[in-house]
Amino acid sequence: MFMGKYLITGRQGSGKTTLIKMLQKRGFAAYNTDDLPEATKLQDIKSGEAIDWPDGKVDWSNYSWNWQRKEIENLLHSADVVFIGAVVSNQKDFYDLFDRIFVITLSSDSLRLRLESHEHASHHLPGVIERILTNHQAKQRSFINEGATPINGERPPSDIVDELLEQLSLH
């Protein structure tokens, strides 16, 4: 029996949620941890205390968007093959739990277009898109330098899922 634990990461708006939904439709255990309040929490950087999402923009110098270890471990043990889609502040602390990590890569222009039409209201607050785009290319490179396999996100999502499953021999 094949087993595998996979992380799909990338910038906000890169397409992680879309890929997770497509993997779910294809019968895989696939989770967007942003949708699981026990798995990911907004935490005060100094105290580590979980806080409610503030109104307006989040001051990322004071807060972090963190996975909770027990919940992530539970998700990864929920099936033989598990996909998690996320970008969180502490994800490097969890890389050892994954068999492979993939990063969806996009040009800055493509990411801007996606963010401008993105479903999350927080992306439409003043300055948020510019903040994400400011270090977009450097952040993508850092994911790759940390061992993530780049996946070209400039294609239709179904093609991306097909490539992902082919690379993992799950097609």
Range of the domain at 127: 4-40+69-167
Measure Cα distances from 100 to 9, 38, 92, 105, 152 in Å: 11, 23, 13, 16, 16
- pLDDT for residue 75: 96
Classify residue 21: in a domain, yes or no. yes
Instruction: In whole angstroms, give the CA distance from residue 26 to residue 23.
Output: 5
| pLDDT, mean over the chain | 87
Q: Average the pLDDT over each of 42-56, 72-86, 154-168 and give the range with the smallest value.
A: 42-56
Classify residue 154: in a domain, yes or no. yes
Q: Average the pLDDT over each of 62-71, 110-119, 122-131, 148-157 and give the range with the smallest value.
A: 122-131
Q: Which residue has the higher pLDDT, 164 or 57?
A: 164
Classify residue 77: in a domain, yes or no. yes
- pLDDT for residue 69: 95
- pLDDT for residue 118: 65
Classify residue 151: in a domain, yes or no. yes
Query: Which CATH number is 154's domain given?
Result: 3.40.50.300
Classify residue 55: in a domain, yes or no. no
What's the structural domain count of the chain? 1
Give 103-140 pLDDT, tens digit per residue. Answer: 999 987 877 787 777 665 555 555 667 777 788 788 88
Classify residue 52: in a domain, yes or no. no
- Name the pTM for this structure: 0.87
Give 10-53 pLDDT, tens digit per residue. Answer: 988 888 999 999 999 999 999 999 999 899 999 999 998 988 88
Classify residue 54: in a domain, yes or no. no
- pLDDT for residue 2: 63
